[in-house]
Amino acid sequence: MYHVVAATTNPAKIKAIAMAFEDIFGAEAFRIEGVDVDSGVPSQPIGSNETRTGARHRVIGARQVRPEADFWVGVEAGIEDNMTFAWMVIENMHQRGESRSASLMLPEIILQGINQGSELGDEMEKLTGIAEVKRKGGAIGIFTAGKLTRTSVYHQALVLALAPFHNSVYQVRTQTH
């Protein structure tokens, strides 16, 4: 059984990780442990590079906390232009898989708060009155009327990030002549 360490305690992210690992390896093939680690980037990352760096730093932190695990998973949400999205980083002892989630265009009222230094989750809480919205369906759930959620969008990207771990073509080393 794989020991999967999620570099988060956010239930929406942990559920997405569990769904992806279940899809790829089966329901009984893993157990997930969430750990609280620092991303090394601002609490509201701006831009693809800063967001990806946050996900990678989370994996580094999770590896330090639980070096005995089989997989470490970092998920970092960020803002780029007028969109929210997230980077997924998955590592085992031998390789890394990465993927970026789908993006959601944010309304101007939310972007104004973010541009003033606020986090998306805090702005969504002000807008909706829903406490801890980022630990639930998130902005994605609110703005798609529940058709998609933070979990469902992250799940898809996590399945993509897992591709190198179960497809042998990723293991093939090119031979030089």
Per the annotation, where are the binding residues for Mg(2+)? 38, 68
Cβ contact 45:74 at 8 Å:
no
C-alpha angle 157-102-32 in degrees, rounded to nearest 5: 30
Cβ contact 8:14 at 8 Å:
yes
Name the binding residues for substrate: 8-13, 68-69
Name the binding residues: 8-13, 38, 68-69
| Token couple for 13 | 């992210």
Cβ contact 4:74 at 8 Å:
no
Cβ contact 86:74 at 8 Å:
no
